[in-house]
């Protein structure tokens, strides 16, 4: 019953969009993702309340299956998840973005901060064989929490539909 609820909830949560850009340089695949949302005000208000926001970019590089084993599905070549946590520093009076353990940037202007927070700059995802680029494609999705809920409060994310916004998977071809 719980699983059914969770699956249903995840479908309802998938109303947002994301844009995925891919770049291929010297056999290396780079991807940049942008979250096209309407929740920037919610992020800003949570910053001002002293709360943090979290955005997760999930990237997958696939190679298309062909031949007799095609029914097994496409092969996952690599996967990356990048977390960004945003907060507002009341002492310094600016926004801060943390990526993993390192500080990614400090912004005084809201627009500048939102643009940085909702986008993932070019990130290396893996290598492909030169010449076979057409066999590869990328998928990306974004999971955004205007309020990064601390443990153990985060169990409410299983039930509350307005705490997490998840985009559907966005696909992009790998072009030479």
Partner 1 sequence: MRIFHSSTTSVGLLVLVLIFILLIALIVVFSHQILINLAGADVRANIMAYVVAIAFPLILLGLIVFQIARLIRERATRKPGSRLKSRLIVFFVLIALLSSIPQALLSVRFVNSTMNFWLEARIGESLRGGLSISLEYYRGAVENLREFNRSSLMAFILEDLNRNPERLWKNVRTVNSQVQFIQVFDEEGSELLFRGETRGRLRSLGQFDERTGDLPKEDREDASILRNAAVYQLQGGRYSVVVGRLMPEGFDSQASSLTESLEVFSQLNRYKRVFRLVLIFFYFFFSFPIFLLSILVSFLLTEEIIRPIVNLEEATRRVADGDFSFRILSRSADELSHLVGSFNRMVSELSHSREKLRQSEKISAWQEIAQRLAHEIKNPLTPIKLSAQRILKKYTAEAGTGPGAAAEGGPSGAGEFQKVLQASISSIVREVDNLNDLLVEFREFARLPMPRLQSVHLRELVEEVAQMYRNLSTDVSIDSSRISEDSIVRADPGQINQVLANLIRNAVQAMPEGGEVSIRSAVVNKENRRFCRIWIKDSGSGIPEEIRGRVFEPYFTSKAEGAGLGLAIVERIVFDHDGNIWFETQEDVGTTFIIDLPLGITEA
Look up residue 164 and give its DSSP letter: -
Q: Provide, rounded to whole angstroms, the least separation between the CB of residue 50 and partner 1.
A: 5
Q: Provide, rounded to whole angstroms, the least separation between the CB of residue 69 and partner 1.
A: 24
Q: Provide, rounded to whole angstroms, the least separation between the CB of residue 12 and partner 1.
A: 14
User: In 3D, which of 97, 123, 98 has the Cα closest to residue 110?
Assistant: 97
Residue with smaller CB distance to partner 1, 23 or 155: 155
Six-digit token pair at 6? 């969770």
Residues that bind partner 1 (CB under 8 A): 1-3, 6, 10, 49-52, 90-92, 143, 145, 147, 149-160, 163-164
Residue with smaller CB distance to partner 1, 40 or 166: 166
Helix axes 40-48, 110-117, angle to 10 degrees: 110
3 contacts: CB under 8 Å, gap ≥ 6:
none
Q: Provide, rounded to whole angstroms, the least separation between the CB of residue 132 and partner 1.
A: 30
Q: Provide, rounded to whole angstroms, the least separation between the CB of residue 42 and partner 1.
A: 12
Establish whether the linkage from the previous residue to 152 is cis, with ω within 30° of 0.
yes
Residue with smaller CB distance to partner 1, 6 or 15: 6
CA distance 79 to 61: 6
CA distance 173 to 176: 10
Residue with smaller CB distance to partner 1, 162 or 173: 162
CA distance 122 to 8: 33
Residue with smaller CB distance to partner 1, 18 or 145: 145
CA distance 10 to 22: 26
């Amino acid at each position: 019953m719980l699983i059914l609820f969770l699956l249903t909830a995840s479908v309802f949560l998938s109303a947002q969009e994301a844009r995925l850009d891919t770049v291929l340089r010297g056999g290396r695949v780079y991807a940049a993702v942008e979250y096209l949302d309407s929740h920037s005000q919610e992020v800003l208000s949570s910053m001002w309340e002293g709360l943090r926001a979290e955005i997760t970019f999930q990237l997958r590089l696939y190679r298309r299956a062909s031949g007799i084993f095609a029914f097994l599905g496409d092969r996952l070549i690599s996967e990356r998840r990048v977390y960004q946590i945003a907060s507002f520093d009341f002492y310094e009076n600016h926004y801060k973005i943390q990526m993993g353990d390192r500080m990614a940037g400090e912004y005084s202007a809201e627009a500048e901060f939102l643009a940085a927070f909702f986008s993932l700059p070019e990130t290396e995802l893996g290598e492909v064989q030169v010449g076979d680029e057409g066999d590869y494609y990328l998928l990306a999705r974004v999971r955004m929490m205007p309020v990064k809920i601390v443990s153990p409060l985060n169990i409410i994310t299983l039930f509350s539909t307005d705490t997490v916004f998840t985009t559907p998977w966005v696909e992009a071809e790998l072009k030479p």
